[in-house]
Amino acid sequence: MQKLSERLALARTIKQLSAKNPNAIRYAYGLVVETTRRKNLIDKFVNTTVAPKKIGEYTLGVQSFLRLYVYQTRVAKNWAKINIQEAAHIASMGRAILGWQTLREVEQFLGFLLTRQLEPILKAAGDVERVSLETFHPSWFVKYCFDLLGRDEAVAFLEGSINPPPTYIRVNTLAAAEEEILQRLQAEGVEPEKTEPLRYTYKVAETKKPLNSLPSYREGLFYIQDKASCFAAQAADPKPGALVFDVCAAPGAKTTFLAQLMQNSGAVYSVDYSRRRLDAWRKETSRMGVRIAQPVIADACANLPFSGEADLVVLDPPCSSTGVFAKQPSAKWRLGPKSIERMAEIQWKMINSCAEKVALGGTLTYSTCSVTEEENELIIERFLKWHLEFSLVEIEPKIGLPGLRGLSQCQRLYPHIHHCNGFFIAKLRRH
């Protein structure tokens, strides 16, 4: 079975069904994401009703139906109002799609699912499980956050990770002057709010249309990019004329911002192992008017295929994405503690490959959208022990909290504090 994100899975389904109505597609995506976000709570609720059987013992079609049924009839109504007509209509659609014989084995439970109360289930749960159910996170991750941040701060972080952060954009001064772009955006119904002290970064307070449907988007006047990601590129601080290696570069958010900060002067070599992702990179760099970037297909766990050394190496390796669970809710149900260990092994190989390509006096910027220590501070601590020629340097501007384990030069961003993805950034200079 393939592990697809909700976006990719829905895109495949839309293609199969030849669906064309944009409103229906938007509604379907919202339904899938919000149901997936609450999967543990919905499954627990269903399991108490269908016991001794569990939801996972049914076919995938029945599992999906039960989750969507509970979401639409109970969660979307805040567990209060009961609309029997709507429930009957959903059951009827389920029979039409799955076949009445397939649905027959759970028909007897639909009425109970419509009337059963949630509170007794939450009251019967222990502390970790209750927080897990109330914040829609796996129990192992709740326990991890308790140990990492302390209970109160962990609960605030987990609650802050329920809903996606605001949408941010970066205006592209390679295409036009900043003020001119802002005027275009306002004329197209977008209300941007400057995100200080970051350069070119704006929160979208309001938009009348989807951002990627706007003419200004197609013309490359802006990039939809989270505040934390913008911060990572600005922290790298590339100068015009520099030689930069951008590692794990696709789909192009970093490359396009690095080139912008360099004023399209110098060279950026963008490394990624995925041809498919580099196709997206080519489209984005072209759309944004980047002229100084070259794509390189390579595995960053092995030696990077460059004979020379760069002024700046930027590494944003694959990670567990624990800082972006709000945007990618399916990710949290695919991960376990072992996933973090596997990611840390990959990150360790990559940062060592990158270290060999940093010129004397040059810098290596390392960032992840994860909040775990194993992928962040522990990698940096180990790196500094193995590479005495590197030391941490202060990151400017300071918009995050200091790193953990005494690594105060590093910066951490959290959804509940900084209103963006959870993120970690370290900057190291070779001397």
The pTM for the full model equals 0.91
Find out whether 371 and 412 touch, Cβ atoms under 8 Å.
Answer: yes
Task: Inform me whether the pLDDT recorded for 102 exceeds 80.
Answer: yes
For residue 286, give the amino acid letter.
Answer: S
Long-range contacts from 194-197, C-beta under 8 angstroms, 24+ separation: 195/168, 195/227, 195/230, 197/397, 197/399
Residue among 357, 255, 379 at smallest CA distance from 303: 357
Check residue 4 and give its pLDDT: 57
Check residue 10 and give its pLDDT: 62
Where residue 266 falls (left for φ over 0; alpha for ψ -120 to 50; beta otherwise) is left
Q: How far is residue 190's CA from residue 184's CA, in Å, rounded to a whole number?
A: 9
Q: How far is residue 28's CA from residue 22's CA, in Å, rounded to a whole number?
A: 10
How far is it between the farthest Cα atoms of the chain? 71
The C-alpha angle with vertex 13 and arms to 9 and 15, in degrees rounded to 5, equals: 120
- Active site members: 369
Which residues have CB under 8 Å from 114's CB, separation 6+? Answer: 73, 74, 82, 84, 87
Mean pLDDT confidence for 349-372:
98
Q: What is the pLDDT of residues 146-167, one digit of tens each?
A: 999 999 999 999 999 999 999 9
Which residues have CB under 8 Å from 17's CB, separation 6+? Answer: none
Mean pLDDT confidence for 116-133:
96
Q: How far is residue 262's CA from residue 300's CA, in Å, rounded to a whole number?
A: 24
Using only the alpha carbons of the chain, give its radius of gyration.
24
**Average pLDDT over all residues of the chain:** 94
Check residue 1 and give its pLDDT: 42
Check residue 13 and give its pLDDT: 64
277/29: higher pLDDT: 277
Q: List the single range of 23-27, 119-123, 278-282, 358-362 with lowest mean pLDDT.
A: 23-27
Q: How far is residue 385's CA from residue 407's CA, in Å, rounded to a whole number?
A: 13
The C-alpha angle with vertex 379 and arms to 155 and 410, in degrees rounded to 5, equals: 65
Check residue 30 and give its pLDDT: 85
Q: What is the pLDDT of residues 411-422, one digit of tens each?
A: 999 999 999 999
Task: Inform me whether the pLDDT recorded for 125 exceeds 70.
Answer: yes
**Per-residue pLDDT band at 16 (split at 50, 70, 90):** low
For the chain, what percent of residues have pLDDT higher than 90?
91
